[in-house]
Amino acid sequence: MLSKTLGPIWVVLLGVVVLFGFFAALGLFAPAEVLWLTVAVAALALLIAVRSLLMRRQLAQHGNQDLFRSLNVLRERRGF
């Protein structure tokens, strides 16, 4: 149950990081002007990167079939 809840949360956090980069690239704000937000988004990006590396390592060990199945369940949406 917890993996079903955490999957979408990580996707939302990734979206926050991407939106921050998008709006900063458009010039809506300068990252130096909102330093607290820049630091928070950098911390989120670091957490996402660490989680991705840990997931890749666990999947590469071939022993964690439950994790592999839960990732497939998150990817597949049946019953359109």
- 42: containing domain: 2-75
pLDDT tens-digit series, residues 48-73: 999 888 888 877 776 667 776 777 77
Please, which residues have CB within 8 angstroms of residue 73's CB and are 6 or more apart in sequence?
4
In a domain, residue 80? The reply is no
Residue 24 domain flag = yes
Q: Do the domain assignments include residue 30?
A: yes
Counting the structural domains of the chain, the total is 1
User: Which pTM does this prediction carry?
Assistant: 0.69
- Asked if residue 67 lies in contact with residue 59, where contact means CB atoms within 8 angstroms, the answer is yes
Contact status, residue 44 vs residue 16, Cβ threshold 8 Å: yes
- Looking at the domain assignment, is residue 27 inside a domain? yes
